[in-house]
A and B are shown apart, each in its own frame.
Chain A
Amino acid sequence: MALVSVKDLHKSFGELEVLKGIDLEVEAGEVVSIIGRSGSGKSTLLRCLNQLERHDWGTIVLADQRLDGAAMSPGELSQNVGMVFQSFNLFPHKTVVENVMLAPLVVKQTPRGEARRIAESVLAKVGMSEKVDAYPAQLSGGQQQRVAIARALAMNPKVLLCDEVTSALDPELVGEVLRVLEELAREGMTLILVTHEMKFARDVSDRVVFMHQGRIHESGDPQTLFTQPRTPELSQFIASVL
Chain B
Amino acid sequence: MTLDFSTLLPYTDQILHGLMTTLWLTAVTTMAGIALAIVVAYLRDGASKGRPSLVSRLLGGYVEVIRNTPFIVQLFFLFFGLPALGIPISATVAALLAMTLNLGAYTAEILRAGIDSTQRGQHEAARALGLSRLQSFRHVVLVPAFSRVYPSLISQCIIVMLGSAVVSQISVFDLTYAANFIQSRNFRGFEVYLVVTLIYLLLAVGLRLAFEFVGRRLFAFRQGGSA
How many angstroms from the CA of A77 to the CA of B129 in the assembled complex? Answer: 8
Contacts of B122 in A (CB 8 A): 89, 91
B147 touches A131 (CB 8 A): no
A-B contact pairs, 22 of them (CB 8 A): A52-B124, A74-B130, A75-B132, A76-B130, A78-B128, A79-B130, A82-B128, A89-B124, A90-B125, A91-B144, A93-B143, A93-B221, A102-B140, A106-B131, A107-B131, A134-B227, A135-B221, A135-B224, A138-B225, A148-B125, A151-B129, A155-B130
Q: Quick one: given A87-B121, A92-B144, A107-B135, are A137 and B127 in contact (CB under 8 Å)?
A: no
Interface residues of B (CB under 8 A from A): 119, 121-122, 124-125, 127-132, 135, 139-140, 143-144, 147, 219-227
A131 touches B128 (CB 8 A): no
How many angstroms from the CA of A89 to the CA of B219 in the assembled complex? Answer: 18
Q: Return the 3 tightest CB-CB contacts between A and B, nearest first.
A: A78-B130, A137-B224, A89-B125
A83 touches B224 (CB 8 A): no
Having A75-B132, A134-B227, one finds 16 other A-B pairs with CB under 8 Å, namely A73-B130, A81-B128, A87-B121, A89-B119, A91-B125, A91-B139, A92-B144, A93-B144, A102-B129, A106-B139, A135-B221, A135-B227, A137-B224, A138-B227, A148-B125, A151-B129
Enumerate A111-144 residues with CB–CB distance to B below 8 Å.
Answer: 131, 134-139
Contacts of A102 in B (CB 8 A): 129, 131, 139-140
For chain B, what secondary structure do more than half of its interface residues adopt (helix, strand, loop), or is it mixed?
Answer: helix
- A200 near B: Cβ within 8 Å? no
How many angstroms from the CA of A179 to the CA of B224 in the assembled complex? Answer: 26
Contacts of B125 in A (CB 8 A): 83, 85, 89-91, 148
Residue of B nearest to A148 (CB): B125
Contacts of B127 in A (CB 8 A): 52, 74
Contacts of A106 in B (CB 8 A): 131, 135, 139
Task: Pick the residue among A73, A78, A131 that contacts B129 (CB under 8 A).
Answer: A78
A91 touches B121 (CB 8 A): no
How many angstroms from the CA of A89 to the CA of B65 in the assembled complex? Answer: 38
Residue of A nearest to B223 (CB): A137
A91 touches B140 (CB 8 A): yes
Residue of A nearest to B219 (CB): A93
Size range of the chain A interface in the assembly: 35 or more
- A44 near B: Cβ within 8 Å? no
B129 touches A155 (CB 8 A): yes
Contacts of A33 in B (CB 8 A): none
B131 touches A74 (CB 8 A): yes
- A190 near B: Cβ within 8 Å? no
Contacts of B219 in A (CB 8 A): 93
> Chain A's nearest CB lies how many Å from the CB of B5?
48
- A103 near B: Cβ within 8 Å? yes
B221 touches A103 (CB 8 A): no
Residue of A nearest to B130 (CB): A78
How many angstroms from the CA of A103 to the CA of B130 in the assembled complex? Answer: 7
How many angstroms from the CA of A49 to the CA of B143 in the assembled complex? Answer: 30
How many angstroms from the CA of A136 to the CA of B124 in the assembled complex? Answer: 17
B224 touches A138 (CB 8 A): yes
Contacts of A81 in B (CB 8 A): 128
- A205 near B: Cβ within 8 Å? no
B224 touches A103 (CB 8 A): no
> Chain B's nearest CB lies how many Å from the CB of A157?
10
Which of B131, B222, B223 neighbours the largest number of chain A CB atoms within 10 Å of its CB?
B131
